[in-house]
Chains A and B, each alone.
Chain A
Amino acid sequence: MTNIGSYEDRLKGFSWDVAKEALDWQEGELLNIGAICSDRVCARGRADQPALIWEGFGGKKKTYTFADLKVFSNAFAQQLRSLGVQPGERVCVFMDRIPALYISFLGVLKMGGIVQPLFSAFGDESLEVRLADAGTRAILTTQKHAKKVRAIRERLPELKHVIVVEGDPAKLKDGEVFFDFESAPRVEEFDVYPSGPETASVLHYTSGTTGQPKGAQHVHSSVLGQALTTQWVLDLRPGDVYWCTADPGWVTGTSYGIIGPWALGITQVVLDSGFMAARWYQFIQDNRVTVWYSAPTAIRSLMREGDETVKRFDLSSLRHLASVGEPLNAEAVVWSEKVFGLPFHDTFWQTETGAMMITNFPGMKIKPGSMGKPFPGITAAVLDLRTHEPIAEPGRVGLIAFRPGWPSIFRAYWNRPDLYRSKFVGAAEDAQPEALRNDTSLWYVSGDRASIDPDGYYWFVGRDDDVINTGGHLVGPFEVESALIEHDAIAEAAAVGKPDEVNMEVVKAFVTLNPGFEPTPELELQIMNFIRKRLSPLAMPQEIEYVDKLPKTRSGKILRRYLRAMEWGEDTGDLSTLEED
């Protein structure tokens, strides 16, 4: 028996009150994600249960109970409060997947801060853009990553506190504080900030087609949507050992790598080491993982490794598999059923939606390659590309859209109200965020395209914009192009996605060179490393093509779509607006 039971029955008379029942949360109770994931679990009798079983490279292993989560997150909260960090201020968490990341995330929320997790592989330029936009007040990081903060700190006047949580205290620089939560005095009780449902909680940056990344801001009541989807889609229940492979620098790693499972008191395991197929299987075997939430890129990498590696391990503990980040190809579903005896269940959602929207449910017939069906309580459609009217006929491609009103919908793009409004089709020019997110006559448009088959299953087609989805992470072409033209050799640049067997797509750059530079392989490698260090390995072009000129519209805008279509072997469309020679 699955938690969701009958999907059809769940659709009947659905109310989001069922999410409160899933959490057993009562009106008037404190709604603070940090406390819900630690103090509340302890109060409900699971203080001694493992919350986090962590393994690092080289055999390092640590286990933390929910009681540990409580006192250690209290310690982080108290440390921030003692430094003068105020509720509502942004506190960045910038570190590898070490225990301090997970525990400090709760600590920031407990003191009322808005936690801003950032992917630790970001280079200093990616970091600076996001910290500057958020006006971040404090950053929690490690010795390994502190140098990136040092490189940009003087340009971030609002960044008052740099707290190093791991490393050698002797190597701190002026203005930095060292805080080791395990050697700090235990903080048994902390006066948790009395957040309400609409108090800001998490700020996740995500990339768009134009401009720099924007911060999708969530609130504490998002936990209702995250907990219910965790229970119904991931099918988690007491006694499970759950592994979410996502990094909390991205939304999956917080919604389903911290909030959803811990709110329900579930034991999580985390592996902080590089990807190696045998190591992953060993980790599942050693920890008797029961539920595994991963990504298509990882699954395809495992497939490439072959079936023989799988057979060396006892993976019989696995009960349910799910996937997110990019469309899961049919071959991967079929393969997982063959080698694990279980299919991966694809799920679709976004940074902005905060929780799963279209999914394959446990117990439901899976059509390999399909995204599944809308979660109960979610009204979804595909909209005509031109009229934005819902498409009635099966199989026709349109924009994936949702009626607003689900609990975990993002509440703002940080300081970008016009951009937020633009995501809702039919919104009045003066519509305010609160009205937008509750107006069920509007459509929130996801930016992805799909079709719906006669049985109501959704089938992903692709992005509706130029954003590059590489390995399940969105990379904004503008950010890459802006960094590329900072290189001395480059005059103009365009970044697009090109097909990739494992990562679905990877970044490819087209560049024109400044006078005096030759298009050599050495320069190509130099440019690749330039972007890798400035932005991130994800944003690094895996191919650079030197061109004499870039295709443009008559108004001078670079035609990325033309370049992308060429890469994908698609119709390049109407070129009549191309710049004339």
Chain B
Amino acid sequence: MDGMKDVVLEYIREEYVDDEDDVELDENTPLISSGMVDSFSMVSLKTFLEMKYGIKLPDEEASPEAFDTVDSICALVRKHQG
């Protein structure tokens, strides 16, 4: 479980957070509601998750709420891992 959190956190840190930004990022950091990840960029995050975990996330479940924290993202991924 923690492995998935680390992987997703690492990806978000790499792709959405600049080295110079003073951003503390953990599994409960708001991503969408804070504006760190916008709704268009959510698509590349979703693509990453689908590719990494070999799943298909239905569009209707890829809501801003579901993508708002690494915790909620991992819960969604786990649900679709069966």
With A524-B47, A529-B15 known to touch, is A274 a contact of B41 (CB < 8 Å)?
A: no
Whether the pair B40, A57 counts as a contact (CB closer than 8 A) is no
Complex formed: what's the CA distance from A525 to B44 in Å?
7
Cβ-defined partner of B32 (8 Å) among A276, A506, A532: A276
Return the chain B residue nearest A522 by Cβ.
B51
Whether the pair B18, A147 counts as a contact (CB closer than 8 A) is yes
Whether the pair B68, A304 counts as a contact (CB closer than 8 A) is no
Q: Chain B: interface residue count, which band?
A: 20 to 34
Whether the pair B34, A274 counts as a contact (CB closer than 8 A) is yes
With A272-B35, A273-B34 known to touch, is A471 a contact of B68 (CB < 8 Å)?
A: no
Cβ-defined partner of A57 (8 Å) among B34, B47, B63: B34
Complex formed: what's the CA distance from A501 to B43 in Å?
14
**A244 at the A/B interface (Cβ < 8 Å)?**
no
Q: Chain A: interface residue count, which band?
A: 20 to 34
Whether the pair B47, A274 counts as a contact (CB closer than 8 A) is no
**A569 at the A/B interface (Cβ < 8 Å)?**
no
Complex formed: what's the CA distance from A301 to B15 in Å?
25
Instruction: State the main secondary structure of chain B at its contact with A.
Output: loop
Complex formed: what's the CA distance from A323 to B63 in Å?
22
A545: min CB distance to chain B, Å:
14
B41: min CB distance to chain A, Å:
4
**A337 at the A/B interface (Cβ < 8 Å)?**
no
Return the chain B residue nearest A473 by Cβ.
B40
Chain B binder among A125-133, A283-291, A349-357, A534-542? A534-542
A315: min CB distance to chain B, Å:
19
**B39 at the A/B interface (Cβ < 8 Å)?**
yes
Return the chain B residue nearest A120 by Cβ.
B35
18 A-B pairs within 8 Å (CB atoms) are namely: A147-B20, A171-B20, A274-B35, A274-B38, A276-B33, A276-B68, A277-B64, A301-B39, A304-B63, A471-B40, A521-B47, A522-B51, A525-B44, A529-B15, A537-B40, A537-B41, A540-B41, A542-B43
Residues of A within 8 A of B (CB): 57-58, 96, 121, 144, 147, 171, 272-277, 279, 301, 304-305, 470-471, 501, 506, 521-522, 524-525, 528-529, 532, 537-538, 540, 542
A57-B33, A274-B30 are known contacts; what are 4 more A-B pairs with Cβ within 8 Å? A96-B35, A274-B32, A471-B40, A537-B38
Residues of B within 8 A of A (CB): 15, 18, 20-21, 30-41, 43-44, 47-48, 51, 59-60, 63-65, 68
